[in-house]
Amino acid sequence: MEKLELQRLRRSKDYLKKNNGIKDLKTLYPEEIEEAKRVFDQDGFVVIKNALKKQELKKLKKGCEEVIREILALDKGRVGNRGHIVTLFGSSSISGHLMHRPEWAMLLDLPTITPILKAIFYSSEYIARGGGGDFCLPGATEYQLFIQIWVTDENFPVLLLVLFVMIGAN
């Protein structure tokens, strides 16, 4: 990297360290179903702590590591499939998702998340699709998080995205 680019990157990192996140972000636990629905209705998103049990998290991390190794074995130039060194898990599979892997399939009906989804949708009649996720390699300086939620005039979510943050999780 050129010297000016490195300086710009350092300034950007310093700024993000000081200004990262949403101040006073309310985080909830899985049993706080009605409050999670209220926060979702108000803000368009809700953060749930401990959505995965330790064993589930361990299993998912191991699966992610396996798939990342497989992808990187094929991506020698570290090009990624979603921009420089950013890769979608699902796009790396011929199926377009990873629900054929047990680590991803277990996420379809979690006792910690499903009741919240039922409350948000006012029903158990919803469709789960996708089943991928993405990862960035060290050095990724630009990343656009999925913006995949639309609402009707009645403020009812037609589509929502459930994300599991893996970095810093124990």
Confidence of residue 1 (pLDDT cuts 50, 70, 90): low
Could you tell me the sign of the dihedral formed by the alpha carbons of 37, 111, 47, 163, in that order? negative
Cβ-Cβ contacts under 8 Å for 12 (sequence gap 6 or more): 141
- Structure confidence at residue 115 (pLDDT): 98
- Using CA atoms, how far residue 74 sits from 9, 49, 94, in Å, is 28, 34, 14
- Structure confidence at residue 48 (pLDDT): 95
- Structure confidence at residue 167 (pLDDT): 67
- Structure confidence at residue 146 (pLDDT): 55
Alpha-carbon distance 138 to 167, whole Å?
Answer: 12
Does residue 129 come out as left (phi exceeding 0), alpha (psi in the -120 to 50 range) or beta?
A: beta
Query: Residue type at 77?
Result: G
Alpha-carbon distance 156 to 136, whole Å?
Answer: 32
Whether 89 contacts 135, CB under 8 Å:
yes
Confidence of residue 156 (pLDDT cuts 50, 70, 90): low
Which comes out higher in pLDDT, residue 105 or 153? 105
| pTM for this model (two decimals) | 0.76
Gyration radius from the chain CA atoms: 18
Give the mean pLDDT of 130-145. 76
